[in-house]
Chains A and B, each alone.
Chain A
Amino acid sequence: MTVKIVTDSLSDITSDLAGELGITVVPLYVRFGEEIYRDRVEITTEEFYRRLVSESTFPSTTQPTPNDFAEVYNNLARETDEILVIVVSSKLSGTYQSATQAKEGFEGKCRIEIVDSLSVAMGMGLIVISAAKAVQAGANLDEVTRLALGAVSRSHMVIYFDTLKYLAKGGRIGKARGLLGSMLSVKPILTMKDGELAPLTRMRSLSAGMDYLYNAVADVPRIDQLAVEHTTNPADADAMTERLSAIYQKGHIYRSDISPVIGVHAGPNALAVSLLEA
């Protein structure tokens, strides 16, 4: 029986891609005050950003419950006896814990492995995609788990924020806190480091930020997978994709929009490039 791949909605895997690669996506919850939505199921990412910008209520995200994972495990256990779960960095969300608790309470015969991606958005999405592709090529659970763990250390993400405003409002920003308090308007460039958001440097304009993202990709000698994402500005992401396609000709550049958990900090007009080193 083939391994089933499970991830959470912060992987930014679009529903089309999930269907194509046989990936099950467990949604996180997005909360605006008293209203709670299942991410990408009951609220679209566009709607999320529209409300982030227009409303005074600052949204928060909550991990899926262990029960959410248990249901998925039980459903999949009817079709398979091997499940690989790849989740958002355990330093950004309790999703890993929920997935683990559900596994501990699971009574079926199915083997379940859980991998902490130490990343988020397409930084995690690309790990999930390469795992799903390995499964399609016939890998078993041990092989695909090893592959996913290897991909965790080869995954890199560089994010451009157009504003510090939302970073200041949010909570879990780890080392990115050092970017706050700047008296000039600066556009920070961040990365995921050891499972957390960490500052890289600062730019003064969108075009300088786009150059930085482009160069960050161009500096990597061998790229296995590449993705470009935006929050509210698809045109900028398209332009970036266009530029990058000149240096990355061998494969498809995945496009998506940035998940709310990064989005609450990033705010509008953010851009991210993620890649898996070959």
Chain B
Amino acid sequence: MSEVKSIAGQDLREMFSAAASWLEKSAAEIDALNVFPVPDGDTGTNMMLTMRSTMEEAYRAPDHSASGVAHAMAKGALMGARGNSGVILSQIWRGLAQDLEGKESFTAAELASALQQSTLVAYRALSDPVEGTILTVMKDAAAAAQAQVAEGNDDIIDVMEATVNAAGDSVANTPSLLKVLRDAGVVDAGGQGLYTILDGALRYLRGETELMRLRKPQIIVSELPYAVSLSQAVGIEEVPYGYCTEFMLKGEKLEPDDIKKRLEKKGESLIVVGDDSTVRIHIHTLNPGAIVRFATKLGTMHQVSIRNMDEQHQDFLEMQKDRMPVTETAVIAVVSGDGLTDVFSSLGAASVVPGGQTMNPSTRDLLQAVESTFSEKVILLPNNKNIVLTANQVQSLTQKSVVVVPTETIPQGVVALLAFDYEADFKTNADIMARALSSVRSIEITRAVRSSRINDLKIKRKQPIGLVDGDLVAVGDSNLDVINQVLARLDLGEAEVVTIYYGDDIELDEAEQIGASITERHPQLQIEVIRGGQPHYSYIISVE
């Protein structure tokens, strides 16, 4: 592929014009992602309209240098900015324009530097920047550009590729930074919008304009498993949201920083951006009248929009209710290993307390988890023999109703959680889950910490050993050898599903080989191999 060493004003305009069209194609899908800060459900549309205004101004610009185009874009964006994300987008162009000031064209290094400036200006626009939003995506994208340049890469396409990839990863990661996204099972809409714009620009640079006509932008899917909040998080407290008030203020000798200070106490989510003749203001306030009175003293108001967010919030709550299975009971599990944590949260555990063999959580850790869940009724899964007693202490320390289902192994915890009945009440669920424990056998493979002789087995230090439901029953030279010995002792006639969770010291290859060897001997079994990432246990195997 051809290399691009520098970009002039004309190309800057064309690449973001292509990006704007690219964004238009997925505006509706981005709207559907929107849950933050209030669900106005139109982030995609807002960004699209902001981009339209941005590019219209860019085409009107008399100055065709990179600097001239960037300044026109910043002006157009500010004039036409809609919604929170639109205003932040306008600040991204503003940062770009500031850094490209006076430049005919720009290189990869200059682009990376301009993206850094965009990040700075965008963060500065918000009095209380929140991570897991478009801001984070901008920051991560700019950092990737900088890293490419630092490696000595001067091809703008390469740099943009790294930027777009980083933006995509960052979008996928937004749910892990922001709980509202996690609960709704979506990525941040504004971040997705920015990713789409950067992706569109890159595609233009690669010469894919024909292809762009046929294709649609990709909507990033959250990497996190969609963890159902079993507790009903919504509707607990009635926070008044007031009115989302947005307008453009035109006047003379306006002082954005001063305006920002004056408005800070009048509401939430305040954004004030602009220059001495044009200032765009966005605020969530209970008293829009006061804001309007203040503004009209300073100049004239344009594009005024005042919307009742409580109405929007009601709609949002309804939408959330539809999305969540409504149950009053929260399940909290003690788990170690990132893979196993994902397994439990994907199956609907409200939260996971880190811990297990040799790292037992304290009563306080468990109590804290119980207290911080929204639900008044909690089922605890200790998942380890040594934690059951600790878990039992929690009941007497909290006002909440707590039942411990005494799971002694991870496989028992999984079958208990799976058996959770969405329609059953608290006590019935505790019974159902306790009854499920007998349907599983738990195999744990670990290494002997010292030489010894137990159950007639002669064990050398560091040799793989196998336990079934906590009893040491096998020792051998390899993990596979021990697993085969253990399985030979079990009656697999009634078994249907074998799940192999491999630990943090094991490679996928080995785990799959073990899975394959079990399939060979027992073709009727359904085998699943899943990364558990747990410490100490090379394998935890459940036989259901």
- Residue numbers of A with Cβ under 8 A of B are 174-175, 177-178, 180-186, 191, 193, 198-205, 207-208
Contact = CB atoms under 8 A, between A and B. Distances in A.
Given A186-B418, A201-B421, A205-B526, A181 B496 contact: no
CB-CB nearest 3 A-B residue pairs? A181-B226, A178-B325, A205-B496
A201 B432 CA distance: 11
Contacts of B505: none
Given A183-B225, A183-B342, A208-B496, A198 B422 contact: yes
The residue among B325, B326, B497 with the most chain A CB atoms within 10 A of its own CB is B325
Residue with the greatest number of chain B CB neighbours at <10 A, chosen from A180, A185, A204: A204
B221 to A, nearest CB: 10
Given A182-B225, A183-B343, 6 more contacts: A175-B323, A181-B346, A183-B342, A191-B423, A201-B418, A203-B418
Given A185-B528, A201-B420, A177 B346 contact: no
Contacts of B499: 184
A186 B347 CA distance: 9
Nearest to B321: A175
B530 A184 contact: yes
A177 B229 CA distance: 12
A182 B346 contact: yes
B348 interface: yes
Given A184-B343, A199-B422, A178 B228 contact: yes
A191 B421 CA distance: 12
Contacts of A186: 347, 418
A205 B325 contact: no
Contacts of A174: 322
6 contacts: A180-B185, A181-B226, A183-B530, A198-B422, A201-B418, A202-B347
Interface string B418-429: 111111000000
Contacts of A175: 322-326, 422
B42 interface: no
Given A178-B228, A205-B544, A184 B347 contact: yes
Contacts of A205: 496-497, 526, 544
Interface string B505-544: 0000000000000000000001010100000000000001
Contacts of A180: 185, 226
Nearest to B499: A184
A201 B422 contact: yes
Contacts of A204: 418, 496-497, 544
B414 interface: yes
- Say whether chain A's binding surface is mostly helix, strand, loop, or mixed: mixed
A194 B499 CA distance: 35
B227 interface: yes
A174 B418 CA distance: 20
A223 to B, nearest CB: 19
Contacts of A185: 526, 528
Nearest to B417: A202
A39 B326 CA distance: 33
A181 B322 contact: no
A177 B325 CA distance: 8
Nearest to B494: A207
A180 B346 CA distance: 8
Contacts of A178: 228, 323-325, 348, 422
B346 to A, nearest CB: 4
A201 B419 contact: yes
A185 B499 CA distance: 10
A219 to B, nearest CB: 12
Contacts of B322: 174-175
Residue of B228, B324, B530 most packed against chain A (CB within 10 A) = B228
A152 B497 CA distance: 38
A191 B424 CA distance: 13
Nearest to B348: A178
Given A186-B418, A198-B422, A205-B496, A181 B185 contact: yes
A183 B342 CA distance: 8
Contacts of B227: 181
B322 to A, nearest CB: 6
Contacts of B422: 175, 178, 198-201
Interface string B347-358: 110000000000
A163 to B, nearest CB: 13
A232 B427 CA distance: 37
A171 to B, nearest CB: 12
B423 A193 contact: yes
B239 to A, nearest CB: 25
A177 B324 CA distance: 7
Interface in B414-467: 414, 418-423
A19 B348 CA distance: 46
Most buried by B among A180, A182, A205, A208: A182
A184 B414 contact: yes
Nearest to B339: A183
A184 B325 contact: no
B418 A202 contact: yes
B423 A183 contact: no
Contacts of B325: 175, 178, 198-199
Contacts of B347: 182-184, 186, 202
A183 B421 contact: no
Contacts of B185: 177, 180-181
A181 B544 contact: no
A207 B324 CA distance: 28
A177 B323 contact: yes
A200 B421 contact: yes
A72 to B, nearest CB: 32
Contacts of B348: 178
Contacts of A207: 496
Nearest to A193: B423
A201 B414 CA distance: 13
A178 B499 CA distance: 22
A218 to B, nearest CB: 16
Contacts of A199: 325, 422
Contacts of B423: 191, 193, 198, 200
Contacts of B496: 204-205, 207-208
Contacts of A191: 423
Interface string B471-514: 00000000000000000000000001101000000000000000
Nearest to A180: B226
A96 to B, nearest CB: 18
A191 B228 CA distance: 18
Contacts of A208: 496
**Of A191, A198, A202, most B-chain CB atoms within 10 Å:** A202
B416 to A, nearest CB: 12
Nearest to B531: A183
A7 B2 CA distance: 64
A130 to B, nearest CB: 25
